[in-house]
Amino acid sequence: MGGLGVLFLRNPIHCALSLVGTFFCLGAIYVMLNAEFVAVIQVLVYAGAIMVLFLFVLMLLSSKDTDQYANKWPIGKILAGLLSLGIFVQIASLFTAGNIQLGPKGAYPLEVVEEVGSIALIGRLLFTDYILSFEIIAVLLLVAVIGAVVIAKRRFP
């Protein structure tokens, strides 16, 4: 996968572009999993909005120091590699033990989703069962916008 590029490319802009590629691949996987809404959101919000924001800040900031800051501590690299290898082995052994207990089937098998349409279903759920979380997330977005403006402002008058 293109996620390796995020890790190993020197130039941060190349990292960001390979991350966009990874997000597109994830969107394709979501389509294969019959989650069209998530795929659309993924491409629009992640590959579109968030990565444009990242690239914008990168171009704005990295005028002179685009080169990689060297990690001064080689033992730290080895330690990080071992630690993340341990994390991967843990998660993978959890998943590949062959006994994933998926639990009882929910109320929305593939036929129902295909019949009603996944976006209609999500919208209905969002405005009935999850209405409180929906309102809270709206307030959170407002707070984030105001907070970003306040933090990024140059000086308080």
Partner 1 sequence: MIPVEHILLLSAALFTLGVLGVMLRRNVIVIFMSIELMLNAVNLSFVTFARGMDSMTGVIFIFFIIVVAAAEAVVGLSIILSIFRTRKTLNIDEFNILKW
Q: Note whether 157 binds partner 1 by CB under 8 A.
A: no
47 touches 25 (CB < 8 A): no
C-beta closer to partner 1: residue 96 or 157:
96
> Quick one: which of 21, 24, 40, 121 contacts partner 1 (CB under 8 A)?
121
* Least distance (Å) between residue 43 CB and partner 1: 11
Q: Note whether 130 binds partner 1 by CB under 8 A.
A: yes
Q: Binding pattern to partner 1, positions 18-37, x when CB under 8 A?
A: -x--xx--x--xx-xxxx-x
9 touches 15 (CB < 8 A): yes
* Least distance (Å) between residue 144 CB and partner 1: 4
> Quick one: which of 28, 92, 120, 131 contacts partner 1 (CB under 8 A)?
92
In residues, how long is the chain? 157
> Quick one: which of 74, 75, 100, 156 contacts partner 1 (CB under 8 A)?
100
Q: Note whether 154 binds partner 1 by CB under 8 A.
A: yes
Other C-beta atoms within 10 Å of 16: how many? 19
Q: How far apart (Å, rounded) are the C-alpha atoms in residues 113 and 127? A: 17
Would you give the DSSP letter of residue 33?
T
**Applying CB under 8 A, what is the total number of residues that bind partner 1?**
82
Q: How far apart (Å, rounded) are the C-alpha atoms in residues 147 and 149? A: 5
Q: Note whether 137 binds partner 1 by CB under 8 A.
A: yes
> Quick one: which of 74, 114, 127, 152 contacts partner 1 (CB under 8 A)?
152
User: Identity (one letter) of the amino acid at 84?
Assistant: S
Q: Note whether 49 binds partner 1 by CB under 8 A.
A: yes
3-state secondary structure of 65: coil
Cβ-based neighbours of 28, under 8 Å, separated by 6 or more: 39
